[in-house]
């Protein structure tokens, strides 16, 4: 008798990915760049404000608070798998907005231009991952 390919018997990868804890770990790792940045801006509030000012975002304190709320709140919603679509959407919009604000590769000289271009490509990939999370959470 053939073993079903959808059964967890004999398929350790499926057995692993079917656990609740695996989902929490996966969502925590996926959002690491956001919650780590949000915590850094919260703990080092002055440094976060300096970053906002560097990119011309004034009043810096207000933008820093908004970024902290977006990064920590969006991450928490995804990690806890509650209103995941909202957290993923907020982080995706945030990520896309960083491109014209902080990663203007088209206005840079080489070699920084190429490095920032690859950062933008990574940002687009992260948005794709957030879209998958929103899709799979429904």
- Report pLDDT digits (tens) over 70-82: 999 999 999 999 9
- Structural domain count, the chain: 1
Domain containing 61: what range?
20-137
8 or 82, which is more confident: 82
CA–CA dist 90, 12 (Å, integer):
34
The conformational region for residue 58 under phi > 0 = left, psi -120 to 50 = alpha, else beta, is beta
Residue 132 lies in a domain: yes
Instruction: Specify if 110 maps to a domain.
Output: yes
pTM equals 0.88
Instruction: Give the count of beta carbons closer than 10 Å to the beta carbon of residue 88.
Output: 26
Identify the pLDDT of residue 15: 86
**Closest to 14 in 3D by CA, of 28, 25, 4:** 4
Q: Is residue 126 part of a domain?
A: yes
Is there a domain that residue 130 lies in?
yes
CA atoms of 3 and 124, how far apart (whole Å): 39
Give per-residue pLDDT as tens, 28-62.
Answer: 999 999 999 999 999 999 999 999 999 999 999 99
């Amino acid at each position: 008798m053939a073993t079903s390919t959808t059964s967890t018997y004999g398929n350790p990868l499926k057995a692993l990915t079917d656990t609740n804890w695996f989902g929490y770990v996966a969502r925590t790792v996926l959002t690491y760049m956001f919650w780590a940045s949000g915590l850094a801006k919260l703990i080092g509030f002055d440094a976060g404000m300096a970053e906002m000012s560097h990119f011309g975002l004034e009043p810096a304190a207000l933008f820093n608070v908004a970024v902290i709320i977006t990064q920590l709140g969006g991450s928490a919603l995804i990690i806890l798998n509650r209103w995941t679509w909202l957290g993923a959407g907020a982080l995706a919009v945030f990520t896309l907005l960083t491109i014209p604000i902080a990663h203007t590769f088209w206005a840079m000289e080489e070699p920084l231009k190429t490095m920032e271009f690859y950062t933008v490509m990574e940002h687009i990939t992260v948005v794709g991952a957030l879209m998958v999370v929103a899709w799979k959470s429904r």
